[in-house]
């Protein structure tokens, strides 16, 4: 039974990778884990297996200088050892390809987001422009309110003039009628 006792940070330190890489190994199923109280614990056995595969892949072959006197026939590499090394190299290469692919996806998403924000920014009104537009609208509103007040006063004056004129016409008609009534029969 696997013992889940290592934190992500401890695993990252043991493997010599970042905690983000540890998360990727978990996601790919290379490391088994348990989550207890919002803390991730990883199986020691899986870490040891992954570390041993890292060590075998990361060993750097020593370069030897081949001279004319070196007999190459004495140096034989078994096919199985060579095949294992190639398989490990291919595994590491595939993992690096996946990491590059993941990074490219993130870059693509970020580029999309930047494009969306640039579009949004083009359609936005800058704050100084907004404030000046608001100020112009407020001035126009004040001017219209003054114009309405002026028109109301003019209308009231005209109404008063019309009332006075109507009253004068009515009085004039009454006077003419009275004049004809009193002086018209004589």
User: Which DSSP string corresponds to 117-179?
Assistant: HHHHHHHSPPHHHHHHHHHHHHHHHHHHHHHHHHHHHHHHHHHHHHHHHHHHHHHHHHHHHHH
The burial class, CB within 10 Å (0-12 / 13-18 / 19+), for 134 is exposed
Q: What total number of domains does the chain contain?
A: 3
Domain that holds residue 149: 143-186
pTM: 0.33
Q: Tokens 């693509």 appear where?
A: 108
Q: Is 13 contained in some domain?
A: yes
Structure tokens at 186: 């004589």
pLDDT tens for 23-59 read 999 998 889 999 888 888 999 998 888 888 876 655 5
14 and 44 share one domain: yes
Q: Are residues 9 and 51 in the same domain?
A: yes
4 lies in a domain?
A: yes
Outline where 37-78 has alpha helix (H): 44-58
Looking at the structure, tell me whether residues 50 and 90 fall in a common domain.
no
The position carrying tokens 């009085």 is 171
User: Using 50, 70 and 90 to split pLDDT, how confident is the model at 85?
Assistant: confident
């Amino acid at each position: 039974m696997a013992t889940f006792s290592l934190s992500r940070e401890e695993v990252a330190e043991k493997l010599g990778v970042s905690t983000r890489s540890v998360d990727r190994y978990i996601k790919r199923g290379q490391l088994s884990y348990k989550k207890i109280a919002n803390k991730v614990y990883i199986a020691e056995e899986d870490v040891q297996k992954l570390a041993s595969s890292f060590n075998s892949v990361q060993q750097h072959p020593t370069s030897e200088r081949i001279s004319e006197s070196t007999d190459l026939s004495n140096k034989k590499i078994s096919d199985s050892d060579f095949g294992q090394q190639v398989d490990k190299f291919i595994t590491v290469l595939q993992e690096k390809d996946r990491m590059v692919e993941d990074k490219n996806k993130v870059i693509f998403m970020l580029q999309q987001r930047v494009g969306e924000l640039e579009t949004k920014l083009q359609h936005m009104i800058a704050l100084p422009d907004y404030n000046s537009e608001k100020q112009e609208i407020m001035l126009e509103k004040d001017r219209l309110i003054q114009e309405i007040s002026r028109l109301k006063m003019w209308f009231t004056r005209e109404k008063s003039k019309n009332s006075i004129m109507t009253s004068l016409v009515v009085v004039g008609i009454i006077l003419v009628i009275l004049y004809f009534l009193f002086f018209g029969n004589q």
